[in-house]
Structure 1
Amino acid sequence: MMQKYTGKSVYGGIAIGKALIFHKKEGQVRRKRIEDVETEILRVDKAREKAKEELQKLYDKAVTQVGEQNAMIFEVHQIMLEDQDYVDSITYKIKNEQINAEYAVASTGDNFAELFSSMDDDYMKERAADVKDISNRLIKILQGKTDSSLMTDEPYILVADDLAPSETLQLDKTKVLAFVTRKGSTNSHTAILARMMNIPALIGVDFDENCDGKDAIVDGYEGIFITEPTEQITNSMNEKQQENLYKKKLQQELKGKESITKDGKKIDIFANIGGVSDVASVLQNDSGGIGLFRSEFLYLGRDTFPSEDEQFQAYKTVLENMAGKKVIIRTLDIGADKQADYFELDKEENPAMGYRAIRICLNQPDIFRTQLRAIYRASIYGNVAIMYPMIISVDEVKKIKEIVQSVKDELTKQGIPFNNVEQGIMIETPAAVMISDLLAKEVDFFSIGTNDLTQYTLAIDRQNPKLDFIYDPHHPAILRMIQMVIENGHKGGCWVGICGELGADLTLIEEFLRMGLDEVSVSPNLVLSVREKVRNTDLRVTNN
């Protein structure tokens, strides 16, 4: 039966496909004392049967796609679920310790994995990961949270309560047709990711869990999520989707053309990326360069710090692929909504205004130096620039320059070649705006981060959906600040760009051009839209 839900659109477009619910990775399994031992053992038996069914489906699919030999792992997992020692251990723990099934499975999985890992035989060592895998599968089933999105190779509409930046790293982005979330805001990471991926996204949708696996449609223009649509609605949405594709095709004709107004004003249109894999989209959309490489994504979704060589390889790959076009790497901007456990950051009442970004780098210079060494080593492979986030003082910039110089001296001493690298800063705090005349004397360029600048100026947490109705990036105060930064930057010899979401706001492009903005950096898929707007603008014409 058709269900229609409404939400707030954070990116337009039409998506038609299966709805699949994304379940978050579970945290530590809690130990609970139980009274009914037999019921708990029965739960384990039923979970094992369900797990075997899932593994059989995975095996059948893998045989057709990667061959029988490579599909054998799923057969091995089914056999391990029948292993009597493994089953007896779970049953014994439930009976002897009177504990819940989830905890008995988790504990047994840990014990067996440790046992396999300690063996000399390489084959048996590999079984440690397998026993952890089947234990995790059982726990998810026992918790009623099987991850259906990982059971399909078909494109799908991702439905979730919310998504953290680290969680989106798990996704195969080529399969996601649209995002639908209960939580989040128009400026959340999911919204930014949707705009970068050029797919529709809705927030604030109170969907029914039963939508999992059903045919669905997302209308990002109207803010509507439909499950089990009628044939009439599906046909109507198909037509709307085709119209959208036609408009995009027309934009593709702008490839290879200059980003210049009718009266000759030129602006650089660069792209924002989160990692090496995004470069393909940058090139496909004919971007003039990369105006924001969010390097913190190299640190997310892992358990340890990325080494200098790992970072070097990532930067080198991007620079080589960009073939001489400018690549601006923002140094580590961890903290706030981007967390990595191994940083061991304390929980803060207001993380957006807490220990993050350049504050971490200056307080833990070893982390900072490793990244700088990697960037400078990669600099000989292309045209790289560095910018530093969350600046509030000239002293910070001077400390950064001292560390940069010491890194360069160290590389020189070691005989490691590097090129001169442009130094810039993010202007995303009111403090940086107000002293932009002083900061301009210290650096080569400014890049205005309008997302954070808006939240700090308006005292509005941009992750709080309750405040979306007053979150106004067009606020006169923001536009005056941008004008002030451009003027002060130019007086001090800096070029000035915008790398926040506002840079792609087509209603403001003309105003930015009149202000004298030199560059905008936007999601790769928006480059041609911005170029089209620039080429249709004539600054000789005044608006009344």
Structure 2
Amino acid sequence: MSFQVFGIAVSRGVAIGRAVLVASSRVDVAHYFVLPSDIQPEIDRLLRARDAVVQELEVLKTELPEDAPHELAALLDVHLMLLHDEAFTGGATQWIVDRHYNAEWALSAQLEVLARQFDEMEDEYLRERKADLEQVVERVLRALALEQGTVPQPATPRDFAGEDPLLLVAADIAPADMIQFKRSVFRGFITDIGGKTSHTAIVARSMDIPAVVGTREASRLIMQDDWVIIDGDAGIVIVNPSPIVLEEYRFRQRQSELERARLGRLRHTPAVTMDGEPIELHANIEMPADAEAAIAAGATGVGLFRSEFLFMNRDGELPSEEEQFEAYKAAVQAMKGMPVTIRTVDVGADKPLDRLTVNELRHEHVLNPAMGLRAIRWSLAEPSMFRQQLRAIYRASAFGKVKLLIPMVAHLAEVRQILETVRKVQQQLTDAGHAYTRVELGVMIEIPAAAVMLPLLLRHVDFVSIGTNDLIQYTLAIDRADEAVAHLYDPWHPAVLHLIARSIAEARAAGKGVSVCGEMAGDPVFSELLLAMGLRSFSMHPSQIPAVKQRILRADAQRLAQALPAILASDDPQTTAGQELGAGRTAGAALH
């Protein structure tokens, strides 16, 4: 039966494929294909892990003390029974044979199938056995992890031209898990929770794959292996579509691919407005390897290197200075002399670490983590970690143009403390004989207080970067990761537009660099408005550069600027912008 699930559109385009249901706690389980020649070895690996767990449980059972509760032995018997059940190992084996899934993926897929069956049982005792099944799976996954030396060489989707595309369905995907997701085989994803600018959505756009979040019920309604269409433009998920609907979306998919190829031809075209204003189009990246995509998209630099992703998925260990240095150096060298702006670690809120040295960063310890000890507040509270990161960044400056960006600044006292720390770091590097060059220092404008006091901040920094995602969140008092209030997240709100316009104007008047690195910079809908405000430096996900460049090439910056007062004075800026900027764009195009 075909049905639709509605959510929030966060990444445009159409994806068609089979659903892969993954529990949130197992998103980071390895997902890759195995070659036909590796199918039997992969099955053997799964069975060895199963047998290891069986042996472990049998030993536990024999070692139970005489006074142990009877329930403990009974529980171990249940786990042993599940491990020997053909529906468990036989079903997982079938995923390996039929779909070429690796053992961990096959095990997780079979778990989702069996868990759904347990949920539908009428007997309460049998329904509760789902928890036992999950515990057994976790044990087998741990056993598989101990066999890392026997893992076969992963295959890619290209090795299976006839295989169906795969779409991930989960309750949620944590930012740390998204690192694994970026290297995976999935062509799109659907989550129950999240908002348009949650970090899950941001990474989806950076990968240029369709995604719908905030569906609430998708992971419960969609079954493993269902055929699914993700309409990333409308925020609709169509499950088991009819042949007619499927063909319509396949046509839209082909049209989207043609449009992407057409925009790709603009890669080497300089971003210059019709009236001759040169525009910088920089890229936002999360890992050094992302620099390759930035170059391929025609970026003129990296406007935001989110260094916090180097700190995630590390089993609680922070990266060393040397490891960070090598990562920053790799990104700087990959950009071949173009500027690389590295933001110091921005953790907390929707990006917690798996191990935190300060308890307040944990969601369970803070009522509102978005307002807590995060970003620069955490860095200043952990001076040793902060100095270590700064040393790595400054050392990387010897290999190219590096700029340092500090997130979530709200107080002059913070700026003074940062400057003092930078001086100490420079002295440490000099004493140790490490080379470094001048690094421009900038702060992010993402708290209204910073926007209001910007003239004071500009006396102490070289540039500012406006993070529109958090600026909107804090201005409107909205948790941008909460789908319950996602409809109130409004980049067109007059207060937001006034803060952005004022920040750009004040930075330019002071002769300081200003850029926008939030989601507004990569949304073509806002390109003309930001140009009208005087913005000349945009930073966005590499995949968004071609569409924004097309808008810039068709724009007349002077004519757009003439429309700005009417937009800022309007009680409906979005409608006024559509009328005023559209007219200016048409007039500019007519002159050329």
Q: TM-score, normalised by structure 1?
A: 0.82
* Partner SS, residue 180 of structure 2: coil
Tell me, yes or no, if the aligned pair for 1:158 and 1:180 is still in contact at 8 Å: yes
Cα distance change of structure 1 residues 248 and 383 upon mapping to structure 2, 3 Å threshold:
same
Residue in structure 2 matched with residue 16 of structure 1 by the alignment:
16
Residue in structure 2 matched with residue 64 of structure 1 by the alignment:
36
- Output the CA distance in 1 between the equivalents of 2:422 and 2:73: 54
Cα distance change of structure 1 residues 371 and 195 upon mapping to structure 2, 3 Å threshold:
same
- Output the CA distance in 2 between the equivalents of 1:537 and 1:516: 13
- Output the CA distance in 1 between the equivalents of 2:182 and 2:74: 29
> What is the CA-CA distance between 1:90 and the residue it aligns to?
4.1
* Partner SS, residue 400 of structure 1: helix
Residue in structure 1 matched with residue 336 of structure 2 by the alignment:
323
Deviations 1:499-526 (A, max 9, x none): 0111122222122112221211111100
Gaps of 5+ in 1: 28-57, 109-129
- Output the CA distance in 2 between the equivalents of 1:363 and 1:264: 46
> What is the CA-CA distance between 1:273 and the residue it aligns to?
1.1
Residue in structure 1 matched with residue 290 of structure 2 by the alignment:
278
Cα distance change of structure 1 residues 77 and 496 upon mapping to structure 2, 3 Å threshold:
same
> What is the CA-CA distance between 1:153 and the residue it aligns to?
6.6
User: Which of 138, 143, 168 is matched with 2:134 structurally?
Assistant: 143
- Output the CA distance in 2 between the equivalents of 1:394 and 1:106: 61
Cα distance change of structure 1 residues 72 and 516 upon mapping to structure 2, 3 Å threshold:
same
User: Which of 388, 391, 403 is matched with 1:373 structurally?
Assistant: 391
Residue in structure 1 matched with residue 572 of structure 2 by the alignment:
none
Identity %: 36
Asked whether 1:310 is paired with 2:328, we answer: no
* 1:74-153 equivalent positions in 2, closer than 5 A: 74=46, 76-81=48-53, 83=55, 86-90=57-61, 93=64, 96-99=68-71, 142-143=133-134
Asked whether 1:187 is paired with 2:178, we answer: no
Residue in structure 2 matched with residue 45 of structure 1 by the alignment:
none
* Partner SS, residue 16 of structure 2: strand
**Segment drifting more, 415-424 vs 225-234:** 225-234
Asked whether 1:402 is paired with 2:420, we answer: yes
Cα distance change of structure 1 residues 294 and 103 upon mapping to structure 2, 3 Å threshold:
farther
- Output the CA distance in 1 between the equivalents of 2:78 and 2:310: 30
Letter paired with 1:323 = K
- Output the CA distance in 2 between the equivalents of 1:353 and 1:454: 14
* 1:419-458 equivalent positions in 2, closer than 5 A: 419-458=437-476
Asked whether 1:335 is paired with 2:348, we answer: yes
> What is the CA-CA distance between 1:382 and the residue it aligns to?
1.6
Tell me, yes or no, if the aligned pair for 1:273 and 1:292 is still in contact at 8 Å: yes
Letter paired with 2:171 = D
- Output the CA distance in 1 between the equivalents of 2:469 and 2:414: 21
- Output the CA distance in 1 between the equivalents of 2:528 and 2:202: 23
Residue in structure 2 matched with residue 531 of structure 1 by the alignment:
549
Cα distance change of structure 1 residues 290 and 89 upon mapping to structure 2, 3 Å threshold:
same
User: Which of 163, 167, 175 is matched with 2:173 structurally?
Assistant: 163
> What is the CA-CA distance between 1:492 and the residue it aligns to?
2.3
> What is the CA-CA distance between 1:87 and the residue it aligns to?
2.2
Would you say how many aligned residue pairs link Structure 1 and Structure 2? 485
- Output the CA distance in 1 between the equivalents of 2:296 and 2:233: 25
Tell me, yes or no, if the aligned pair for 1:216 and 1:229 is still in contact at 8 Å: yes
* Partner SS, residue 508 of structure 1: helix
**Segment drifting more, 488-497 vs 302-311:** 488-497
Cα distance change of structure 1 residues 63 and 194 upon mapping to structure 2, 3 Å threshold:
closer
Tell me, yes or no, if the aligned pair for 2:532 and 2:558 is still in contact at 8 Å: no
Cα distance change of structure 1 residues 242 and 367 upon mapping to structure 2, 3 Å threshold:
same
- Output the CA distance in 1 between the equivalents of 2:523 and 2:35: 48
- Tell me how large the CA RMSD over aligned residues is: 3.2
- Output the CA distance in 1 between the equivalents of 2:74 and 2:168: 27
> What is the CA-CA distance between 1:143 and the residue it aligns to?
2.4
> What is the CA-CA distance between 1:82 and the residue it aligns to?
5.2
- Output the CA distance in 2 between the equivalents of 1:144 and 1:215: 29
Counting helix residues as a fraction of each chain, which structure ranks higher? 2
> What is the CA-CA distance between 1:162 and the residue it aligns to?
1.4
Letter paired with 1:15 = A
> What is the CA-CA distance between 1:434 and the residue it aligns to?
1.1
> What is the CA-CA distance between 1:79 and the residue it aligns to?
4.3
Letter paired with 2:401 = N
Gaps of 5+ in 2: 81-102, 112-129, 145-153, 158-164, 561-579, 584-592
Letter paired with 1:442 = H
